Structure 1
Amino acid sequence: MFPQLVQEIMALGRLDWVVTLTALVYVVLSARNNAWCWPFGIVSCALWAYVSYGYGLYSDVLLQVFYVAMGFWGLYNWQRGSEEGGVMRISRMKKEDHLLYLVVGIAGGLLLGYLFSYTNAEATYWDAFTTSFSVLATIMLVRRQLENWYYWFVVDLAYAGLYYSRGAVLFALLMVIYTVIVVYAYYTWRKQVKE
């Protein structure tokens, strides 16, 4: 199993590697609460949209386009978006917000899955639910809400399985790495909330 996985990873094209490396830089910088994460995220997601189309993951294509737009908002918001005119600080969410996000995430996943079930998309509902909750987690990340990392942990694990099932081995491995970085990110951000 492991030698085959290594062979599959080594056989991937340059574009897969560029997407993977820029995505890793994005996640590491966002975990460190560094606004430079956003330009790397924009580049990575624009290329990722193209690659996801090739894997037949249409909800993921839409998600990557959304990420590109959110990258510009995130960059602005993290640098100049606070009400006081300074850099936005990390905040905590209310319990009611979590309930709202769960309801919206489930409804969004069902709707997206239903819409794409009439196309030749692959893993329709799996792709739709990961997309729906990724949108919500991204909104939380842009708002610098600490709890975004809870959502990313679950979403990244789900994506690891989704990408692996589609033969996107490098992206599946990237999602596993993301899951580890998410744990680091949560503890890094949590320390900054207490300061």
Structure 2
Amino acid sequence: MLEFLFSQYKNYPTYEIVLEVTAIVFGLLSVWYAKKDNIWVFPTGIINTAIYTYLLWKWSLLGDMMINFYYVIMSLYGWYHWTRKKDDVAEFPISIMTHFEKKMSALIFTGTVLFVVAVYTFFDKFTHWTSYVDTLVTGIFFVGMWLMARRKIENWILWIIGDVISIPMYFVKGYSFTSIQYLIFTIIAIYGYLEWKSILQQKKN
């Protein structure tokens, strides 16, 4: 079983395996902190995505690399957004999407997919079915990260969808550790959605 899962790492440089495992640890911490509505989601997330940006560039996975570079930028934005307070009360608490944010989400998704398609076409990367799925997942995660930075509960729904798609995709690409990471992400994201929903319900009551 272990041979089946991890045989693709035989020819990998040791430092790349160490970096991938390190990124996974910080990624799991980041999602856990997001579930808890804790500001540490951003510094841990920045470490995770910065490492992955480098690794994915090395692995020539351009769409995935762009996702992670975008995460670094959005994590900085989210870090600032979450720390804004008015009279010691969070200025942007957990909430549901507004009509404007729904329109913006559609624009971000469409723009992201078109951009990734253009990049993949230019670099002739549409050589495997995972490349087409990658464009869809990139759009989903771009919107999910934007919504998380704005503390919108719907971000969890997009993470769950994107994570579920990513589990088999990364396994097929040959990155078993990352595939397992997305499986754990999916579980935490489900609990994250339920926890944020409970917080929202308490506020209403």
Judged with a 3 Å threshold, the aligned counterparts in structure 2 of structure 1 residues 99 and 76 are, in CA distance, closer, same or farther, namely: closer
Superposition RMSD in Å: 2.3
* Number of corresponding residues: 193
Match status 1:21 vs 2:30: no
Greater shift in the superposed pair: 66-75 or 30-39: 66-75
| Structure-2 residue corresponding to 1:101 | 105
Is 1:44 matched up with 2:45? no
Normalising by structure 1, we get a TM-score of 0.87
Q: What is the CA-CA distance between 1:173 and the residue it aligns to? A: 1.0
Give the residue type in structure 1 aligned to 2:55: V
The structure-2 alpha-carbon separation of the partners of 1:169 and 1:70, relative to structure 1 and needing over 3 Å to count, comes to: same
Match of 2:116 in 1: 112
- 1:102 deviates by 4.0
The C-alpha deviation readout for 1:51-87, integer Å capped at 9, x for no partner, is 112332101111111111111111111111x567732
TM-score by length of 2: 0.83
CA distance in 1, matches of 2:5, 2:76: 35
Q: Percent of aligned pairs with the same residue?
A: 21
Q: Distance in 2 between matches of 1:10 and 1:55?
A: 13
How far the C-alpha of 1:31 sits from its partner, in A, is 0.8
Q: 1:177 — aligned with what? A: 184
- Deviation per CA, 1:86-120: give whole Å up to 9, x if none: 32310012467446534642453134223312214
Taking the aligned partners of 1:29 and 1:91, their CA distance within structure 2 comes to: 17
SS in structure 2 of the partner of residue 117 of structure 1:
helix
CA change 1:38–1:107 in 2 (3 A) is closer
Map of 1:1-195 to 2, 5 A cutoff? 2-8=1-7, 13-80=17-84, 86-87=89-90, 88-94=92-98, 97-98=101-102, 101-102=105-106, 104-121=108-125, 123-195=130-202
Equivalent residues of 1:108, 1:132 under 8 A apart:
yes
Runs (5+) with no aligned partner, structure 2: none
CA distance in 2, matches of 1:157, 1:55: 22
